[in-house]
């Protein structure tokens, strides 16, 4: 178990929701744990104020798999007979399918070992008020909901690390000690540590108004990791393996336009400029709009899709009429990758990397690729020059010139 999971607990309990036996997931407010719950197929209940899944063996496996390395999973609540007996295996209702046509299920994962956990830390009233003030500031500044979750989670962890201190009494040396704890005890990644720095700086700069406290706190050294890229042949195999029209349009659009997953989910019908062969991305990363490509082949499939599915507002809609689920898109991609036999490690975002790399290899100017991807800096786009194989293929190794 990762050290960073020691401080966090997920407690499972029996729950009856809409006359169905379910499993309730109780844990402190944390963006990473919320993402893990969604990965396990859990939904939020406004009535019970908790996340829940159907009570079935495959869902318990999914819960353990999703939270492994992130938090302890405590099953003591499920073992207790609190008036709601666990359903017999023969009476277990069928597990609901993900919002993916064709019955895609969440991948089964071997369960982690459940261990007793400490009670989840509770914020003081002063700490809770400080976080609420920070949230209001972030909302006024029009930060995205995801950024707000990440920032609040990081600052909350700082407060919990110093439970006896008023937020305004946490000094620079305390912040540095917390950073050291994240780096050496929890061993978080450089990106997670950098997010924590950004969040803490925002709180003390914009909420407390004390710039000196965070001016000189250390940032982690930048990691330089090369993106994973599929070959053109692998992209062809991937797309050909998808029979469902809607699913094929989703993957084609991500690759052909270089979209982020969140950008695909947010697309509306009015964002298609068919006559100009363009796609308008509204409110992308950094809340920026941009125009990208709408390929002819993608357009032909989209016209067929629009005639068959008739979406009302969002280009890709879920069963409830709202935007399509990000998790469902991930399931579609991994099913297609498995069916196509693509061995290269890849995620949905790999299609965006592949779009940029393939454009570069075909001679497209880096400045145009930067604009299509919505990058603020050309240095971000330049990473694709390091994964392009076209130029490397023309270079001879000095070993090949030796007479051995």
Measured N-to-C along each axis, helices 57-67 and 31-39 cross at an angle, to the nearest 10 degrees, of: 150
3-state DSSP assignment of residue 143: coil
Query: pLDDT for 262-312, tens place per residue?
Result: 899 999 999 999 889 999 998 777 778 899 999 999 999 999 999 999 998
Domains of the chain, first to last: 3-89 (3.30.780), 125-208 (1.10.150.130), 232-391 (1.10.443.10)
Structure pTM? 0.60
Cα angle vertex 304, ends 298, 309, to 5°? 115
Do residues 134 and 151 touch, judged by C-beta distance below 8 A? yes
User: Looking at the predicted structure, is the pLDDT value of residue 143 above 50?
Assistant: yes
**Six-digit token pair at 181?**
């704890």
Q: Which residues contact 32 (CB under 8 A, 6 or more apart)?
A: 70, 153
Query: pLDDT for 207-262, tens place per residue?
Result: 999 989 988 888 887 767 788 899 999 999 999 999 999 999 999 999 999 999 98
Active site residues: 260, 285, 349, 352, 375, 384
User: Looking at the predicted structure, is the pLDDT value of residue 331 above 70?
Assistant: yes
Do residues 245 and 291 touch, judged by C-beta distance below 8 A? no
Query: pLDDT for 61-103, tens place per residue?
Result: 889 888 887 788 888 777 754 443 333 333 334 444 445 555 4
């Amino acid at each position: 178990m990762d050290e960073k999971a020691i401080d966090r607990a997920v407690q499972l309990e029996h729950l009856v929701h809409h006359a169905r036996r379910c499993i309730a997931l109780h844990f402190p407010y944390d963006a990473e744990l919320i993402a893990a719950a969604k990965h396990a197929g859990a939904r939020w209940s406004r009535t019970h104020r908790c996340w829940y899944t159907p009570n079935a063996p495959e869902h318990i496996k999914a819960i353990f798999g999703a939270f492994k390395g992130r938090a302890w999973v405590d099953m003591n609540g499920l073992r207790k007979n609190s008036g709601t007996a666990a359903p017999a295996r023969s009476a277990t209702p069928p597990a609901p399918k993900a919002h993916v046509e064709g019955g895609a299920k969440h991948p089964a994962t071997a369960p982690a070992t459940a261990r007793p956990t400490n009670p989840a830390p509770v914020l003081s009233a002063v700490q809770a008020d400080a976080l609420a003030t920070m949230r209001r500031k972030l909302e006024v500044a029009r930060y995205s909901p995801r950024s707000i979750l990440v920032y609040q989670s990081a600052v909350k962890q700082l407060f919990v690390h110093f439970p006896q201190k008023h937020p305004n009494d946490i000094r620079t040396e305390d912040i540095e000690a917390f950073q050291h704890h994240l780096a050496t005890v929890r061993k978080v990644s450089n990106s997670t540590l950098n997010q924590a720095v950004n969040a803490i700086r925002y709180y003390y700069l914009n909420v407390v108004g004390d710039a000196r406290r965070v001016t000189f706190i250390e940032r982690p050294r930048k990691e330089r990791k090369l993106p994973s890229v599929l070959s053109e042949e692998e992209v062809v195999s991937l797309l050909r393996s998808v029979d469902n029209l809607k699913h094929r349009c989703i993957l084609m659009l991500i690759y052909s336009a270089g979209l982020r997953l969140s950008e695909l989910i947010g697309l509306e019908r009015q964002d298609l400029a068919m006559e100009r062969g363009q796609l308008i991305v509204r409110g992308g990363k950094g809340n920026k709009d941009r125009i990208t490509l709408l390929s002819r082949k993608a357009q032909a499939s989209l016209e067929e899709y629009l005639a068959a599915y008739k979406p009302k507002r969002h280009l890709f809609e879920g069963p409830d009429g709202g935007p399509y689920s990000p998790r469902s898109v991930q399931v579609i991609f991994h099913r297609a990758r498995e069916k196509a036999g693509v061995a290269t490690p890849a995620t949905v975002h790999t299609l965006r990397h592949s779009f940029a790399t393939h454009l570069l290899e075909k001679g497209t100017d880096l400045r145009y690729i930067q604009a299509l991807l919505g990058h603020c800096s050309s240095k971000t786009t330049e990473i694709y020059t390091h994964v392009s194989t076209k130029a490397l293929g023309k270079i001879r190794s000095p070993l090949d010139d030796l007479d051995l």
